[in-house]
Amino acid sequence: MRTKNSEYRIGGVSCEALAEKMGTPLQIFDQEKIENRLQEYQTYFKSHRFETGVIYASKAFLCKAMLELLEEQNFCLDVVSGGELHCAKTSSFTMSRIFFHGNNKSQAELEQALEYGVGTVVLDNPEETELLISLAEEKRKRIDVLIRINPGIEAHTHKYIMTAHLDSKFGISIRKKEEIVNMIRSIEKSAFVNFEGIHAHIGSQIFDVQAFREEVRILAEFAEVLEKEDGIPVHTFDLGGGFAATYTAEDSPIPIQEACRAVLKACEEEADKRDLTLRRVFIEPGRSLIAEAGSTLYRIGFQKDTESKHYIFIDGGMADNIRPTLYQAKYNCDNISRLNEAKTVWTTVAGKCCESGDILIEDILLPPCENGDLLLVYTTGAYGYSMASNYNRLPRPAAVFVKNGNARCVLRRETFQDLEALECSDPVEI
């Protein structure tokens, strides 16, 4: 990002011009930033010992334009629903590089995965295991599987994005070894389902590399027990994601090169130490890959002073970014219409949704703002658009990719007509 002639530019494109042409709120993605981060992961997540793979966690942000970039750089893809799977299929993404996650996949979704030729299903529980085996044998479709394990690590993050503690809704506690072994024994009896290894995900927005080392150690200990006590080879570790992004000056993410090196070194050392049959190691970055490449552009409307706060109201809010309301996420922003003016006013940025909790940023220094100014909120590329809703019947914003002075709309703005399209009065025969 840079300024030119007092205009704020992303990817060489004027944000003011984008606002005039596309309207606001507007999600803007710097395509070159995405491509550079994809290349970083592909470059640094390499091992002399293992086959390695980088799986993009598509829940962070998904559209066909994003899938095209992933396909170009031979990324794998993590999906968690039939909708995400359908998006990948209709974009011609390579189905064998898809990992299908989720704690409550429906029968229809599992059938969809088998029909589409998905490479790997990550099993969450014994019931799902039996259902997938039955469907695979019925359809005579082969599929690889991993089993999601809860290693009991509570990474220092918000409880809503902390996923590997022993009471998590995801996966099976590492303490339930007998249950896990029984799942694997059922898989081994199938001619169509192949057990490859184990998966874990210890949380999101993790700043301490030691958390990942500890995850590897615990999984390696468990794999050693499976191999030596039960004769079950564990060929694959999928270590999930959790790599952090920079939202405010308080954040210090682990550099990608350092994170990749630490994870792989831990795997290499543990595999050697325990004489494991480990062959493949995967990670699943989502937020760290897309978050900082995205920004959201808003138009400032009215303002308000209370006894202790100065509010500016924007033309979006929790409908296009629910993270501050959901788990007190913090963001940084600028009034890009007044880049050269001193920041002298403590300001709270509030949305237009009919909720008192619709506060995007609380207490940030900005210059005096005026109705019609443009506010740019940084690092909204992950879990902004993907968690957007039509609360208050607000249409979801458009999204554009920008690069080398060119812009292309990759998700058009919803219209009132789009919202009406689902309305019907069809009789239901019972």
Active-site residue list? 354
Give the separation between CA 124 and CA 129, rounded to whole angstroms: 8
| Residue 193 token pair | 């389902």
Taking alpha carbons only, the member of 176, 185, 174 closest to residue 221 is 174
Under a CB-based contact definition with an 8 Å cutoff, are residues 296 and 335 in contact? no
**Residues 95 and 82: beta-carbon distance below 8 Å:** no
User: Per residue, what are the HEC states of 347-392?
Assistant: EEEECCCCCCCCEEEEEEEECCCCCCCEEEEECCCCCCHHHCCCHH
CB atoms < 10 A from the CB of 102, how many? 20
Alpha carbons 180 and 185: distance in angstroms, whole number: 9
* Surface-to-core class of residue 289, CB atoms within 10 Å of its CB (0-12 exposed, 13-18 middle, 19+ buried): buried
**Backbone Cα Rg of the chain:** 23
Contacts of 254-257 with C-beta under 8 Å, sequence gap 24+, read 254/206, 254/207, 254/208, 254/209, 256/37, 256/40, 256/41, 256/44, 256/288, 257/40, 257/44
Phi/psi at 190 (5° precision): -90, 140
User: Tokens 């190691």 belong to which residue?
Assistant: 281
- Is 188 strand, coil or helix? helix
| 3-state class (DSSP) for residue 333 | strand
Nearest to 275 by CA among 228, 329, 313: 228
